[in-house]
Amino acid sequence: MVDIPHPVVVLDLDDTLYLERDFARSGFAAVGRHLEESHGLTGYAEHCARLLDEGHRGTVFDAALAAMGLAAIEVAPLVALYRGHAPEIALAEDAGRLLDRLGARASAIITDGPAQTQGNKVAALGLHDRIGKVILTGLLPEGCGKPHAMAYEMVEQWSGRPAADHVYIADNAAKDFVTPRARGWTTVQILRERRIHACTAPTPGHAAHHVVVSLDELRLA
């Protein structure tokens, strides 16, 4: 168990509160329905899901079109549909339990990615009613996504608490922890079994103070 005595609990979103893989599958399904309605094509979502499971990332849409002999179809509108769709996703069970335990405690979210996409996820997960402050770094000036300090500074301004009173719970050690650690926050890495990213820390300064595989391992003081 990891003790979390901090009065301000700050959370990442993707692969922290829910599985990002579920968003991807939801988006693939939305694109698949569009292609079936517009081109009479079937099986696209399944192709994309298989490629994701095989480790493909940024080239999933192109690779699926090529595999189906559909390379002439323009990818950009499909990506826009994927990013803008209303996702069918749900909180991980341990995340729901953590939010229940947090109750009225000050909590916030910092999440990277296109603002519309991340905002749709927050809405689909019902987080506006459970989280005190939501920061979508896609709404900040260019270059201010993690690990830039702006979002963490915004949380400190919102909470009005010293840096040491904050804990950041996230998954990706490549960018999530280096800045809050430097500011004096405590950091916790959640490594879900079906996460999208490897989440390896490139330097010791990027690593979290604690690593868990379930949010049930966190004991709130």
**pLDDT (tens digit, 9 = 90+) per residue, 163-207?**
999 999 999 999 999 999 999 999 999 999 888 877 788 999 999
The pLDDT score that the predictor gives to residue 67 is 85
Q: Name the 3-class secondary structure at 139.
A: helix
Same domain, 117 and 208: yes
Same domain, 191 and 180: yes
Closest CA to 169 of 145, 187, 185, 183: 187
Highest mean pLDDT among 12-26, 47-61, 70-84: 12-26
Does residue 136 contact residue 13 with C-beta atoms inside 8 Å?
Answer: no
Q: Which residue has the higher pLDDT, 118 or 6?
A: 118
Same domain, 169 and 181: yes
CATH of the domain at 162: 3.40.50.1000
Same domain, 117 and 30: no
Same domain, 15 and 121: yes
- Which of 32, 65, 84 lies at the terminal end of a domain, its last residue? 84
Same domain, 74 and 97: no
Same domain, 95 and 149: yes
Same domain, 131 and 175: yes
**pLDDT confidence tier of residue 33, bands split at 50, 70 and 90:** very high
| Residue 68 reports pLDDT greater than 90 | no
Mean pLDDT of 41-68: 87
Same domain, 37 and 143: no
Q: Which residues span the domain enclosing 132?
A: 2-19+89-220
Please give the tally of structural domains in the chain: 2
Describe the crossing of helices 76-84 and 115-124 by its angle, rounded to 10 degrees: 40
Percentage of the chain beyond pLDDT 70 is 100
Same domain, 107 and 197: yes
Does residue 13 contact residue 111 with C-beta atoms inside 8 Å?
Answer: yes
- Which of 43, 66, 84 lies at the terminal end of a domain, its last residue? 84
Same domain, 69 and 12: no
**pLDDT (tens digit, 9 = 90+) per residue, 101-132?**
998 778 999 999 999 999 999 999 999 999 99
- Which of 63, 84, 105 lies at the terminal end of a domain, its last residue? 84
| Residue 159 reports pLDDT greater than 90 | yes
Same domain, 7 and 46: no
